[in-house]
Amino acid sequence: MGGTQPSPQTSGPRVSRSGQDPNARAPTMESGLDHHWLVGEPGWWKLPTDSSQHGNRRGETSPPESWPSTNAQEGGRGWTRQRLQPVAPSILLPLAWSPLFLLLSAIPLVLPERLPTDDQIVSALFFSLSWALVLVPLYMARSTQPMSGGTILSLPFDWATFAAASATFALHVLTSPLFGWASYALFWVAWFRTYRRIKRVLQIPSSRWLLPIDHSKWGSESMLPPEWQVTSESWTTGPIAALDCDCGRLAISGASRGDDRFLAIALIDRSGFVHDPFHIGPVGDALAAGPLSKPPVIDMGLEWPERLLALDAQKQDSAKTAGI
């Protein structure tokens, strides 16, 4: 009698019990957020996930008519705004706590020998924390922005008054204690002036404008006007060119998303933060009437990839059910 025959091996792809091919490539997190890449994630503005973000947001305006532009809903060819994550929440919350610790830093000196530890140490800790809550969030928020730049000394911080206050404090150690209170008053002046500088930075939206291109055909010297200072002749994901202006500099750099390549243009202020060059206000008006009255590149670029567009709910449902 013959033994049991081995069961025939089936050919074709292996399928798991769930009905999915285990070798199938899972969608990446980047591809899942493609439709938010231009308009921004709704959570940044405390909006529902399915909320529509058509049209301009507060403070935004359109480029001059000479610019071939489109938007994330229409697609086609032309420059399109890419909204960056707002930096205000990560800066303002620590900033709100900063004056409290600056105030507390004086209490151990006003009421000496009332604490179980050294008054000078407690005061120094409160003082250091008050300024760390200003500088660290500023530096971290700027570092998260693409195309940002600058050093810690270029942050919107009143370094001049802060240095004067520090020098006055040194005099109090060497001469009279009265210089200590003069120094403390100057530190408050530095805080309020720093607050005003931060406020001006946060008034302009954080965005840049993108143009999809064939990067293999890019040549900076031949495709940009002569007033632009070229830093890279070929396309790169870093800086390509810059143009100084009254409010900082206009910067052109390369950007990528998946296999797509883009030119990006943004306003970089003197503190290194990235801003939308087309915004409501005197700075935006001056740019639109001056250096950005015409686009820096005549080429209209390539068609915008559909996967990066912010489709409305009906189009999204059609895309999900296509092929079923």
Residues 205, 64, 261, 320, Cα dihedral to 10°:
80
In angstroms, the CA 89 to CA 141 distance is 10
Confidence (pLDDT) at 312: 57
Our CA angle for 246, 251, 256, nearest 5°, is 160
pLDDT of residue 127: 95
Tell me the average pLDDT of the chain: 85
pTM of the complete model: 0.83
pLDDT given at position 30: 53
DSSP assignments along 163-211, one per residue: HHHHHHHHHHHHS-THHHHHHHHHHHHHHHHHHHHHHHHHTS--EEEEE
Residue among 274, 269, 267, 264 nearest 297 (CA): 264
CA angle 102, 107, 113 (to 5 degrees): 140
Q: Reduced to 3 states, what is the DSSP secondary structure of residue 20?
A: coil
Q: In 10 A of CB 37, how many CB atoms?
A: 20
Task: Find out whether 190 and 102 touch, Cβ atoms under 8 Å.
Answer: no
Q: pLDDT 10s digit of each residue in the chain, 324 long?
A: 444 444 444 444 443 433 444 343 344 445 558 888 999 888 888 877 665 566 778 889 999 999 999 999 999 999 999 999 999 999 999 999 999 999 999 887 777 666 667 778 888 999 999 999 999 999 999 999 999 999 999 999 999 999 999 999 888 767 777 788 899 999 999 999 999 999 999 999 999 999 999 999 999 999 999 999 999 999 999 999 999 999 999 999 999 999 999 999 999 999 999 999 999 999 999 999 999 999 999 888 999 999 999 865 445 444 443 444
Count Cβ atoms within 10 A of the Cβ of residue 232 and give its class: 0-12 exposed, 13-18 middle, 19 or more buried: middle
Structure tokens at 157: 């911080």
**Type of residue at 209:** W
The answer to whether 288 touches 198, Cβ cutoff 8 Å, is: no
